[in-house]
Amino acid sequence: ACSPAEERASDPLLLVSAASSLSRVLQQIRVDFETTTADRVVFNFGSSGSLTQQIRHGATVDVFASASQQYLDELRHEGHLADTGLTLHGRLVVWTPPDEEPVATVDELTALRFRRIALAHTKLAPYGRAAIEALQSSHVLTQVEPRLVQAPDVLTALRYAESGSADAALTALSLVGDTDGRWYTVPADLHLKVQLGIAVATGSPRAQQARRFVDHLSTPAAVSIFEANGLFLTTAQTAL
């Protein structure tokens, strides 16, 4: 009835800006959350970078779930995010299509049948950085480097391999659950932890519900959903 902003502020829906790569797991958790409370959640999926810019320029959101801890830290530093939140970490996998012989080590990517290897953006995406590190620690980076294909994000990297445009993808365990292919989970010691973060926005007009939602994420039920999707709780800073 009044300005769009006021309308949104009085809207009972909890707005969660979330990285697209988290869409599957967060949808599952929402179902769980909404059965236990009266709160209703709506997601705004996008790339973490875009979502960060939106929050930075004053978009009103309640919770931010970033695929990269780095963005979260920046925003928190700038005062857009509260301390309330949690940190997750994911696992890097080498995904291969069903008709391809799966790998058992990272080294095997040097095999010539992997003419193209997809990975996420090596600067902006945490999984992309992790992939480079894993290749480096396995001492195969220089060999496979010419065959690397950089996708804008982990999801697209997976799509490349799924569509047969790449022969393998270095992607996230959280994405491969429902795919036809096979994957090898890269040992955690081959790369720095891939950190994801979820936090309450300071500008949230529904801070109460936002905190309730974030708190719910560290309940055992939610944690098991995370783990089923290849994400693992690192730390949680609860509201209370």
Partner 1 sequence: MWAPLLLSLQVTVAATLLIICIGGGLAVWLARREPRGRALIETAIHLPLVLPPSVVGYYLLIVLGRRGPVSTWLEWDLLFSWPAAVIAATVVGMPLMFQASRAAIASVNPDLEQVARTLGASELGVLWRVTLPLARRGVIAGVVLSATRALGEFGATLMVAGNIPGRTQTLPLAIYDAVQSNDTDLANAMVLLMTAVGFVSLWWVRRFDIGPRPQRSGTPV
Candidates 10, 36, 105, 163; binder of partner 1 (CB under 8 A) is 163
Interactions with partner 1, residue window 102-131 (CB under 8 A): 116, 121, 123-124
| C-beta closer to partner 1: residue 105 or 163 | 163
Question: Is residue 50 at the binding interface for partner 1, with CB under 8 A as the rule?
Answer: yes
Measured CA angle at 88 (ends 85, 122), to 5 deg = 115
Question: Is residue 159 at the binding interface for partner 1, with CB under 8 A as the rule?
Answer: yes
| C-beta closer to partner 1: residue 156 or 218 | 156
DSSP H or E run through 14? strand 14-19
Helix (H, G, I), strand (E, B) or coil at 85: strand
Least gap, CB of 135 to partner 1 (angstroms): 16
**Among 31-39, 42-50, 187-195, 208-216, the segment contacting partner 1 (CB under 8 A):** 42-50
Candidates 28, 32, 44, 234; binder of partner 1 (CB under 8 A) is 44
Q: Helices 207-217 & 220-228, crossing angle to 10 degrees?
A: 60
Q: Which residue type, as a one-letter code, is found at position 19?
A: A
Composition of the chain by helix, strand, coil, percent to 5: 40, 25, 30
Strand 63-66: give its sheet, edge to edge. 41-46, 14-19, 63-66, 194-201, 81-90, 231-237
Candidates 132, 155, 186, 210; binder of partner 1 (CB under 8 A) is 155
**Site size for partner 1 (CB under 8 A):** 44
Candidates 29, 33, 39, 47; binder of partner 1 (CB under 8 A) is 47
Least gap, CB of 220 to partner 1 (angstroms): 26
* Tokens at 43, concatenated: 């997601």
Contacts of 99 (CB under 8 A, 6+ apart): none
Query: For residue 128, which phi and psi values (nearest 5 degrees)?
Result: -70, -45
**Among 48-56, 88-96, 100-108, 194-202, the segment contacting partner 1 (CB under 8 A):** 48-56
CA distances from 155 to 34, 150, 183 (A): 27, 11, 15
Question: Is residue 54 at the binding interface for partner 1, with CB under 8 A as the rule?
Answer: yes
Candidates 28, 32, 59, 107; binder of partner 1 (CB under 8 A) is 59
Candidates 10, 165, 185, 235; binder of partner 1 (CB under 8 A) is 165
* Tokens at 3, concatenated: 């300005």
Binding footprint of partner 1 on the chain (CB under 8 A)? 3-5, 7-8, 15, 17, 20, 23-24, 42-47, 49-50, 52-54, 57-61, 74, 116, 121, 123-124, 149-152, 155-156, 159-160, 163-165, 178-179
